[in-house]
Chains A and B, each alone.
Chain A
Amino acid sequence: GAVVSQHPSRVICKSGTSVKIECRSLDFQATTMFWYRQFPKKSLMLMATSNEGSKATYEQGVEKDKFLINHASLTLSTLTVTSAHPEDSSFYICSARGATGGSEGYGYTFGSGTRLTVV
């Protein structure tokens, strides 16, 4: 089935630095990538939707200059948390959708998530 590889799985960074999270679709072309954020014991909040080759569409309240999304190819999307602060600490998950859907026809394949801790 379709696989999305998300790296790193865990990252600890100092306040003020930037962190890049990658999601790669391994066996399908991800025409659309969704980025979610999840706080402990909470649901997934959609941050932005990106289509290959175009600018990402951010959800209300999400700072686009803070969370830079690049979807330059059909197999790679990146989320960069710029000038990270402790309040950016969270679990970030990507989800990819291809022209013919993701896994098993239901359309969405999720990465395994990245635990970001900003100290």
Chain B
Amino acid sequence: SQQGEEDPQALSIQEGENATMNCSYKTSINNLQWYRQNSGRGLVHLILIRSNEREKHSGRLRVTLDTSKKSSSLLITASRAADTASYFCATAPRTIYNQGGKLIFGQGTELSVKP
């Protein structure tokens, strides 16, 4: 399968709570990115973490990367109703067959933040 795994598949929380989503992947990577997608819309890039980085912050977002476990997590702190969306991780596999840099997406987590 070209897809990585994400969990949970769906997450429902109250406004103000933190949301944590996890992603696992299969191959060596150059970087891992997180994207957000509102229903029926395109993707919005959230954050990129390189393979030699372990943690990165951007506003209310915190991303970790564990290359030994081939996993990443996205934490959204102090969630808001407007954070309701699907969240996807995407990896750029580091192989000779991916010189063009194609992204492989995880299954996604559907986050619902209730006001």
Contacts and interface: CB of A to CB of B under 8 A. Distances in A.
B101 A41 contact: no
B41 A112 contact: yes
A95 interface: yes
Given A32-B100, A44-B88, A46-B102, A6 B33 contact: no
Interface string B22-51: 000000000101010000111101001000
Contact of B103 (A6, A51, A57, A108): A108
A93 B101 contact: no
Interface residues of A, number: 28
Given A49-B102, A97-B100, A111-B42, 8 more contacts: A41-B86, A44-B43, A45-B105, A46-B105, A97-B101, A104-B45, A106-B45, A113-B42
Interface of B: 2-3, 31, 33, 35, 40-43, 45, 48, 86, 88, 100-108, 110
